[in-house]
């Protein structure tokens, strides 16, 4: 079975940094596509960044210049380095992954990121 395990969330002051990790398992191959989503209370879940098995990345406008997505294919682990965090970045961050191009997407349990003084 496919399983995504997230870590790295927490409380940070504005301007600070956090590094989120997502350990993925259950696929015979390197995960075709992985990404980070976030959802604030009462708001729609939105894509933050994505990365393919080949390392191609895509970022939401709000993340460009501040966030960096990366992955270690040998470990099937994805990361999101978040710098210059703002209060509006506060949300539950979810790991998303497609095991193969033929698969449905899978989701992690979510990790809370709170940016506040």
Q: How many CA atoms within 13 Å lie on the side-chain side of 80?
A: 31
Note the pLDDT tens digit of each residue in 23-74: 998 877 788 999 999 999 999 999 999 999 999 999 999 999 999 999 998 8
Residue 56, C-beta contacts closer than 8 angstroms, at least 6 positions apart: none
Considering only CA atoms, give the Rg of the chain: 14
Note the pLDDT tens digit of each residue in 6-26: 999 999 999 999 999 999 988
Decide if 114 contacts 12 (C-beta within 8 A).
yes
Decide if 116 contacts 90 (C-beta within 8 A).
yes
Token match 């989701």: residue? 107
């Amino acid at each position: 079975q496919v399983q995504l395990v997230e870590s790295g969330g927490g409380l940070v002051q504005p301007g600070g940094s956090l590094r989120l990790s997502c350990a993925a398992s259950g696929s015979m191959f390197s995960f075709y596509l992985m990404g980070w989503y976030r959802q604030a209370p009462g708001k729609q879940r939105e894509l933050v960044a994505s990365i393919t098995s080949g390392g191609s990345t895509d970022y939401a406008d709000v993340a460009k210049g501040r966030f960096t997505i990366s992955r270690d294919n040998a470990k099937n682990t994805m990361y999101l380095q978040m710098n210059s965090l703002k209060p509006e970045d506060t949300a539950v961050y979810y790991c998303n992954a497609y095991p193969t191009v033929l698969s449905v997407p899978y989701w992690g349990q979510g990790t809370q990121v709170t940016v506040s003084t």
